[in-house]
Structure 1
Amino acid sequence: MNHIKESFEKAKGRFDREAANGFSAIFQLLISDGGDYYQVISNGECKYFPGLHDSADVTLILNQATLLSVLNGELDGAQAFAFGQVKVDGDLRLAKKMLELFPHCSN
């Protein structure tokens, strides 16, 4: 299993199902040096898939090192955005919602 998939699995353990109650969205992740993935959040569930989604609600553009640091709880997503390590195409409010759905944890 590659590092990205391992980190997605780890992130699922931090997923806040309560924060996702009544919420649904599709997040596209364009990883410049690691491929494309999308995340579907619906009915309190979170699933990751490889590839591109036809109708993602928001797209996050970043490199693999930034993604892994955020997913592993080593880098705060808001800070990564503020420092230009993550670019958002689409609804910025949805991108911010990810902070609620995946609370930052320290390792």
Structure 2
Amino acid sequence: MTSVADAVQAMKAKFNPTAADGLDLVFGFRIDDTKNFSLVVKEGTCELLEGENPEAQVTLVMDGETLQGIVSGETDGMQAFMGGKLRTEGDMLLAMKLSELFPG
């Protein structure tokens, strides 16, 4: 992967619509403190939006390298969190749903 945009697209490609049945969630991402995007998961669909989303129930903050590692499977999200490379703002329990919605 060559960029954050590629990592985000790869993440969206892994979306599991069955895990999103009945959900209405907004996940925010802030990468390198300069790039913002959100994933809106609603009723089995996933929409990728650029920019900060004030409706995000949880925002994940990390650098681009960590994002690429998590999406590629080279980095475990929980290990990144425990190691201080990933932090959350908002409902941390929702962040844990990401592994169900976007399986490796």
Q: Secondary structure at the match of 1:52?
A: coil
Structure 2 residue ranges without an equivalent (≥5): none
Which string of whole-angstrom CA distances, capped at 9 and with x for unpartnered residues, describes residues 3-55 of structure 1? 22222222222211111111121111111255111111111111211111122
Corresponding position of 2:18: 18
Aligned residues: 103
Whole-Å Cα distance in 1 between the matches of residues 12 and 27 of structure 2?
A: 14
The normalised TM-score by structure 2 is 0.88
One-letter amino acid matched to 2:53 = H
Structure 1 residue ranges without an equivalent (≥5): none
Corresponding position of 2:76: 76
Shift of 1:70: 0.9
Q: Does 1:89 align with 2:78?
A: no
Q: Is the 8 A contact 2:37 2:52 kept in 1?
A: yes
Corresponding position of 1:44: 44
Shift of 1:79: 1.5
One-letter amino acid matched to 1:25 = L
Q: Which structure features the higher share of helix residues?
A: 2
Shift of 1:66: 0.4
Identity of aligned residues (%): 34
Runs of 4+ with >6 A deviation: none
